[in-house]
Structure formats: structure tokens, C-alpha cells
Structure 1
Amino acid sequence: MGKVTGFMEFERVEEGYKPVPERVKHYKEFVIGLDDAQAKVQGARCMDCGTPFCNSGCPVNNIIPDFNDLVYRQDWANAFAVLDSTNNFPEFTGRICPAPCEAACTLNVNDDAVGIKSLEHAIIDRAWELGLVKPRPSKIRTGKKVAVVGSGPAGMAAAQQLARAGHDVTLFEKNDRVGGLLRYGIPDFKMEKSHIDRRVDQMKAEGVVFRTGVMVGELPKDSRVTNWAKETVTPAQLQQDFDAVLLTGGAEQSRDLPVPGRDLDGIHFAMEFLPQQNKVNAGDKVKGQLRADGKHVIVIGGGDTGSDCVGTSNRHGAASVVQFELMPQPPDEENRPLTWPYWPYKLRTSSSHEEGCEREFAIATKEFLGEKGKVTGLKTVRVEWKDGKMSEMANSEQVLKADLVLLAMGFVSPVASILEGFGIDKDARGNARATTDFTGGYATNVPKVFAAGDMRRGQSLVVWAIREGRQAARSVDEFLMGFSDLPR
């Protein structure tokens, strides 16, 4: 496991960032990855801990100690082979995954965890540079046709696995480019879209057919879900034309904030704001683009999507950016003996926060204020939490100026009309009802229709989407062929 005494000799090596004044002038990635020497030191810190909790902490069950050791030995080819065996797209997870594997690292009990995410990032970047990432088309053809609906990480992972099993796979995407929320939800400064494009080229060489601009079913007329479809296909058509259908769309219904003044102009969901900038970055023209130039911006929601709105607003040249979080401010450090190896509760400061942002915790919006139909401010109140219940603090109301309000409070469910079009049963949260059992996993109540990713589990992480896509692919393969050699 790397160097036996490495964890006692070496400190954690962090990836670097380009300076704030430089990076806020563009939308390109600004993380400075580890060089070979730094990666070797990071790999050396992996302990011979006996039970590597990092493996189970990682949703795709990356074989982390093995590739850590191989990086320490500078064997990049075999490090990539190990990483590639469990994760179809390490360049995605190595950039935007929050790294639950590091929270589970045994060294994290009383020291800084091994920088697993930075090593994953280093391995896949070296693999591309060395030409190790190549198409792997199947040598056999099964003659079975599979439709995958939704080209986010779950859909891409499933489509690639099914194509490698020899099936004829068609991947449907309602928007004009492949990638789902990776394409239009993640800002380019966190992950440039060339990474998606390279994988699309690989998958095409493996036999996957991509059909973009195709909406399966219909969106409600009042839906604010991003949709640039030019063509519609009915669920019945897919069920007729394909031997199996796998639904891997995202949980795209944004959580709303129904308080007085919500209908004022200038109040938008994050997923109205972020996709437009990504389209502009791709060279498209967006009429009436939502922009934060010179505006006082308030972002409601303290998670990653809210952070993405902060970073984008700063790049637009916002006059000020304030981010709201309903919950109280977490501690700077978690109680490690109490929480390890689970995801810790602690204050997280993103690179976007460091670029300029005021953060308000334990604050709730009571009303949106406006003049002539446009938002001008928010009436807020401080809240306190006791025994899991929230109450407003007396005499704590205040009014904050706002020209643009972005709602980034998470997502509640997939688009209901899509599931209804197929006649799929939903769970209590509005997701497609499907189990993850070893036999018949990811199958819905509708014959030959499966569901995975956010469509099944609700809003989640990119690494969970890849896991579910891979597992669902195995279930579909087993359904079509009676057995499957694909890994779970």
C-alpha cells in the first residue's frame, strides 16, 4: 500500500488553484493537478489499514488502495486499468465528486485523508495523455436493441456498458448536446465540456447511437425544465421499437419557494440561469440571457448548485453576491470519532465562495419585495433550530437589496409526465419505483422498462449516477440474455 511508513512521513498534498483575479475573467478550468512527484507522495500516504473503508465509501467501489500503490510506483498504465475497471468516467468524478471515499479513509480518523480524488484526477489525465483510453467495441452482436433515455452520467455509463455487451444502443437526449446536467448544470470552470465530447467520440466508436434534440414523452406546458428538443417520440414508440428501455433522466423539478412576491421578474431557478451560460460558452447565442452584471445577487440554497450560481455571478461581474442557507452554520471541523467513516457535517468552502461571496446561515425568506413588477429586495428573518424543529427569532426581520434572486434549493423529483407517459409507478417522493435487487434490479412495473440514476433515487451525486447506470446495464443485459458478464 504505497510506502509502509508514508502516512507518518508525508503531509497531504492539495491540488492548486490559479489566482482568483485571473480565473474569474474566464470560464475555463483553473485547478492545477498534481505533478508526478506530488502524486507519488500522495500515493505513498495510503496505509496498509487492513480494511479499506474507502472502497465501500465510494459508490462505484473504486479499488482505491491498489491504484494508490500503483501511482506511488508511477505505473500509470496499470493504475488506469484498475480505475477503469470500476468507473467509466473518472474525469467526471475526479473533478466534481465531493469524494465520500476521503471521508471514509482510515487515515481521516485522526489526520488528513489521502487525497484520493486528486489521484483519480491525475490517473485519468495521464491515461488520456498516454493514449490509454481507447474504444472497446464488442466482438459479438446480440441483435438486441436498447433505448436509453437521458444522456447524463447514468445514461452514458449504462449505454457504454450495454454497447460493450454487444447490444445495439440508442441514447436519447432532449437537449441539443449530450451530457445532461453535466453539460448544462455544471459550470465549465468546474468541468470543461471537452471531457464529455471525448467520451461521446469513444462511445460512438463502440457502437452507441446518439439522438439529441429528441423529447421522449411531453413536458407540462408550465414546466421550467430546460428543453431544446426539436422532435418528440412517444413512450409507446420506444416500447414497440426496442427490446428494452432504460430511463436515466435527471431529477429536474426544482424545489420552489412559494412566498409572497414569487411572481416578480428577476426571480429564477438556478437551472434557468446556469444552462444559458454554458450554451454561450459553447458558442451559441442566447436571446435575453439571464445575467448578473452589476446586480445585487442573492442565491437561496447553500449546496453545490448555489455555489455554482455564485461562481457564475462573479464571472458576470455582479455588484455583490450573498448566499442563503436555512440551516445553522456547521462547525469548521467535524467530530471525527463520532462520524467516521460516514459523510461528515462540517463547514465547506468552495472555490466559488473564495472568489467573493457573503454567506448567511440560519436565515429564511419571508417575502420578495419589488417595484413595477421587478424584484428589488427580500424580507428575511433569522431562525433557530431545536430538537429538529425550526422557529423564527423575534425581532430579527430585515430587508436585503436584490436585483437578481436565484433559487438553488435542490430538486424534488423527475418530470412527472415522463413517468406517467410510460405508466410507471412512483415512490413517495415522485421517483420511478424500482428496486436494486440482484435479480430483476432497476426494473419498473412496466414490462421491459427500467429506471436508474436520479430518475430512480432522486437528486444525488455524479458517482451514484455512474454506479446506478452500470448496475442497471447489468440488469438489462441479464433480462435480454438470461445472464450477464457485466460487473455490478
Structure 2
Amino acid sequence: MGKVTGFMEYERLEEGYAPVAKRVKNYKEFVIGLNAEQAQQQGARCMDCGTPFCNNGCPVNNVIPDFNDLVYRGSAQDWELALQVLHSTNNFPEFTGRICPAPCEAACTLNINNDAVGIKSIEHAIIDRGWAEGWVRPQPPAQLSGKRVAVVGSGPAGLAAAQQLARAGHAVTVFEKNSRVGGLLRYGIPDFKLEKSHIDRRVAQMQAEGVVFRTGVLVGEWPADSKVTNHAQEQVSAQALLQEFDAVLLAGGAEQSRDLPIPGRDLEGVHFAMELLPQQNQANAGDKLKAPIRADGKRVVVIGGGDTGSDCVGTSNRHGAVSVTQFELMPRPPEQEDKPLTWPYWPLKLRTSSSHDEGCERTFGIATKAFLPGKGKDKNRVAALQTVRVQWSGGKMSEVEGSEELIPADLVFLAMGFVAPVGQVLQAFGVSQDPRGNARASTAEQGGYATDVPKVFAAGDMRRGQSLVVWAIREGRQAARAVDAFLMGHSQLPR
């Protein structure tokens, strides 16, 4: 694969970024992708390694050596074929090529003692050229099955499943509670990481393939005072879907944020990350918001060291925050992973995002004990965090004596992950839940994504809990195969 000696001749090339001073003034994507020559050089680094661990490192099992080799060959026909190879396993490489953490690169054989092949950047280059050249076209089915499928949720799992089922000839209707399609892709990921035109382009393709999208529709029974009902114009009962459709796939996201129930939690200025991020994306789309959360001129503390916390950092910097501090409960990871110990698995190491580079103080091994109010007219607003340093030993955490400290803050975002999908949908269908609140549904090896309710399936975060976009796409594709087999007695859809 690639050039036989390419891995010895060429270094890894990283995608570039627009300068910080320029990119923090807007919400546009700022990654500078590889040009054709650079992508060809990266493809040349792919080794003829015999056992391509990258394939298994990738949740959708992308056929990575094949499209690397095609890009290395370099002709327009080779690039178009590379896109076909990429699409054979991944419905939406423009999503994963931008926001996937690239576990495939961690598993790259070259990564044992060198820098991995830039697989993600090659994927990014292939799909962007595919759109530019007009190679991405609707693929309507040759014949219809006469079967109807409802997909609840239009995130990556729901979209992937809907596209696969439509191409198999089924009449697919996707239900989304928000006014626009995309789920957490649209409302959870900042525009500067994923511009929403990419979603709109895929939705147009899927509509041409026969998929029907119904937005502003809540499925199940929801209380009138629920925040969710503010976004919807109508409600549809679970029973109505079961009567109208031959199969129902539940593919909603894990939207219940992990809380921090400590003194002062109810103070103004303490918010979940998923209060900030959807609002900003809605504002970018032109929606009018009442009293949106703003970090202008404020001291911001983000609690949680993962991707969602990083997204809060980048958004706060674009608002014009005075300072941004990010807390992480765990100790600071090593700068470099222990490759002989971890390869080909996802390693533990310090990861610095583009948002961190824009301005952020990161503090590890710290816990928040209380949110403290201000004085006078600010007595109901957060003014500081009472913190303590923590240390870990044998998997147990203990506080460091004498390390208490007050950290000033005008705005706090809780970004500590998500605990479960919204329970109302599962309860409406009577689907059993596991101890974490996810739908109990069989795996592909057990027969596939079926719940204990006849003709109801579950996939993505709804089934496996909070996870990556690439895992959601895999789940959606596999669930589509399971639904197709249920409806037709067999399935030719790929796993």
C-alpha cells in the first residue's frame, strides 16, 4: 500500500489552522486541509503492513489502506474510487473527517515507533474533493419494498440508519424534536468545528433518495412545562407510530448532562454546557433568542476536561471572555503515551485542542466543593468556586490537605459528560432500560439492535450511551441492517 519506502521518506503532515487572532472573531471552520499533493504524500506513507490494525481501530471499519493507496496513485479516477471505498463503510466522512478523534491513527502500525499516517486528514481531503467535483450524488433505490420505517432522532445514528434503509427501498420518515435536522451534530458541536452546511447538504441528498424529515415533532408523552416542548410544534404518541409504521428505530442522543449537586448549584451563572452550545449554534443560524448566555467580559470556569469542555472554551473565547479556566478531576496525563504498552488501543496522553490554544488555563487534579455567591445585588449570582486539590492512589481519590482555594468566576459551565438518553421516549414505547438508563437492545452478534418491544429497535447513544459520532454512524448502519432483515427476512445492507 502506498509507496514501498514512503514511510521512510516522508514525514507526517498536519492540517493547518487559521491564526488565533483571526479565527476567534467568528464561528467559521478554520482548519486548512491538505491539498492534493500533500494528501498524496501522506497516502504514500501507508505501509504494506500485512495486518492493517487501523481498520479495526476505526469503529466503522473504514478500508483505510485501500483509499490511502488510491490517493497516493493520484489520478482523478483514483480519487473518485477512493471516495467510493470511503462511502462503502461511512455515510458521512465529512463529519468524521472533521470531528473524529481518529482512533484509526492510534492503531496505525507506523505509530508503534513513528508518527502515524494522517488518515483523518486524507479522509477529509477525499470527501471535500468529492463534493467539489460533484461525485457525491443521490442513490435512490431501484425498487421499493412497500415497508415504512420511523426513525426517531436525526443525529448521526438516525441519519445513517435512515439513509441505509431508504437505499434498501423502504419508506423512511425521520422525526426530530428541534426545528432543524442534525440532533447533537447541529446543536451540540460548535460551528467552528463543523459548519452546519455539511448537514444541510446531506439532508438534501437524503431527501432526493426518498427520506422524509418531520421537524418540530416530539415523540412520546412530555409534560407541558418541559424545556423540550418549547422547540416542538406537535406531539406524536408512541402508539401512533407503532400503528403507522412497520418498524421504529429509536436513535436519540444522550442528552441528560451529568450534574454537580454541591452547595450553590442553583446560583445564577452556573449552567450545563448544553445550555450554552445549542444557544450559540441557534444564534449563528439566525434564530432569535431570549436572554442568551454570554461570556463577554466575564471570568469563565469550565468544569470537565473533555471535548464538550473544550467546546465551551472555544465558544467563551469567541464571546470575549476575560479569562477561561478549565478544571479536570483526573491528574494531568503524560505528554507522550507509552506506545509499547498501549498500541494499538486508544492511549492516555495529554491532548491539547485548538480551543485550548486560543487561550485557556488548564488545571488538573482539582475538585469543586461549592459555588459561592456574590454580595449585595449579586447575592444570587456565582462569584467564586471553593476548590480543593485531589490525588489518586489505587483508583481512589483523596483530598490534599491544606490545598483549599477560592477561584473567582462570573460564569461556570458543567461539562462532565452525559449520563443517559432522554427517558420519556423509551418509557413511551415501554422499552426496558439498563442500569445506566439506556435502551436494552441486543448487539449485532445477538441478532441486532432489537428492544424487548416488538418491531422497536434502538441504536446510537440511545443504546450504548454517550459516545463518538463515528460510533453513532456505525450503530445506525448496523441497526439499519437489523431492521431491514426484520422487515424482509434477510438483508444485503453492509454491516
In the alignment, which of 298, 302, 310 is matched to residue 299 of structure 1? 302
Query: Which residues of 2 match residues 186-225 of structure 1 at below 5 A?
Result: 186-219=189-222
Written as runs of structure 1 = structure 2, the 5 A alignment for 1:1-400 is: 1-74=1-74, 75-219=78-222, 228-371=231-374, 372-400=379-407
- Name the structure 1 match of 2:429: 422
Give the Cα separation in 1 of the matches to 2:390 and 2:221.
40
The aligned amino acid for 1:411 is F
Give, in whole Å, the separation in 2 of the partners of 1:439 and 1:167.
24
**In structure 2, what is the Cα distance between the partners aligned to 1:211 and 1:439?**
32
Contact 2:218 2:229 in 1 (8 A): no
Superposed CA offset, 1:280-337 (max 9, x none): 1111111101010000000000000000000000000001000000000000000000
For residues 80-105 of structure 1, the C-alpha deviation after alignment (integer angstroms, 9 at most, x for no partner) is 01001000000000000000000000
Name the SS of the counterpart of 1:286 in structure 2.
coil
Q: Find 1:485's aligned residue among 482, 487, 492.
A: 492
Give the deviation of 1:210 after TM superposition: 0.1
1:147 partner SS = strand
* Letter matched to residue 465 of structure 1: A
Alignment deviations for residues 48-89 of structure 1 (CA, whole Å, 9 cap, x no partner) = 000000000000000000000001011210110100100000
Paired residue secondary structure (2:137): coil
State the match for 1:456 in structure 2: 463
Quote the Cα distance in structure 2 between the aligned partners of 1:202 and 1:161. 12
Amino acid at match of 1:200: V
Q: Deviations over 1:434-480 (max 9, x none)?
A: 11134531000000000000000000000000000000000000000
Task: Verify the 8 A CA contact 1:219 1:415 in the aligned structure 2.
Answer: no
1:112–1:301 Cα change, 3 Å: same
Query: In structure 2, how many angstroms separate the alpha carbons of the residues matched to 1:423 and 1:148?
Result: 17
Amino acid at match of 2:387: T
Contact 1:413 1:430 in 2 (8 A): yes
Q: Secondary structure at the match of 2:22?
A: helix
The alpha-carbon distance between structure 1 residues 260 and 358, as it changes in their structure 2 partners (threshold 3 A), is same
- In 2, the alpha carbon distance for the partners of 1:202 and 1:169 equals 14
Per-residue deviation at 1:254? 0.2
Classify 1:227/1:354 alpha carbon distance in 2 versus 1 (closer, same or farther; 3 Å): farther
User: Is 1:433 paired with 2:440?
Assistant: yes
Counterpart CA distance in 2 for 1:223 and 1:389 is 38
- The root-mean-square deviation of aligned C-alpha atoms, in Å, is 1.0
Kindly provide the CA deviation profile for residues 370-408 of structure 1, in whole angstroms up to 9, marking residues without a partner as x: 132111110000000000000000000000111110000
What letter matches 2:250 in structure 1? L
TM-score by length of 1: 0.99
Closer/same/farther in 2, CA of residues 225 and 366 from structure 1, 3 Å limit: farther
Q: 2:407 & 2:46 partners in 1: Cα distance? A: 48
- Give 3-state SS (helix, strand or coil) of 1:298's partner: strand
Give the secondary-structure state (helix, strand or coil) at the position aligned to 2:252: coil
Contact 2:444 2:482 in 1 (8 A): no
- 3-state SS of 2:116 partner: coil
| Aligned residues of 2:332 and 2:365 also touching (Cα < 8 A) | yes
Q: 1:219: how far off? A: 4.0
**Does the Cα contact within 8 Å between 1:453 and 1:468 map onto a contact in 2?**
yes
2:309 counterpart letter in structure 1? G
Comparing 225-234 with 336-345, which one deviates more in the overlay? 225-234
Which amino acid counterpart does residue 410 of structure 1 have in structure 2? G
The residue aligned with 2:472 is 465
Distance across 1 between alignment mates of 2:401 and 2:226: 37
Distance (Å, rounded) in 1 between the aligned partners of 2:234 and 2:363: 44
Question: After alignment, is 367-376 or 19-28 more displaced?
Answer: 367-376
Q: Cα deviations across residues 165-184 of structure 1 (Å, max 9, x unaligned)?
A: 00000000000100000000
Aligned to 2:231, the other structure's residue is in SS state: coil
Question: Which sections of structure 1, spanning at least 5 residues, go unmatched?
Answer: none
Measure the CA separation in 2 of the matches of 1:193 and 1:363: 35
1:206-248 CA-to-partner distances (Å, cap 9, x unmatched) read: 0000000001013456766696111111111111110000000
Q: Secondary structure at the match of 1:459?
A: coil
Report the Cα distance in structure 2 between the residues aligned to 1:393 and 1:86, rounded to whole angstroms. 49
Distance (Å, rounded) in 1 between the aligned partners of 2:228 and 2:90: 29
3-state SS of 1:60 partner? coil
CA distance in 1 between partners of 2:252 and 2:138 (Å): 25
User: Tell me, which stretches of 5 or more residues in structure 2 are unaligned?
Assistant: none
In structure 1, C-alpha distance between the alignment counterparts of 2:56 and 2:291, rounded to whole Å: 46
> Aligned partners of 1:221 and 1:394: how far apart in 2?
48
Conservation of the 8 A alpha-carbon contact between 2:444 and 2:478: no
> Could you say what secondary structure the match of 1:360 adopts?
strand
Question: What percentage of aligned pairs have identical amino acids?
Answer: 76
TM-score between both structures, scaled by the size of structure 2: 0.97
Aligned-residue offset at 1:198: 0.2
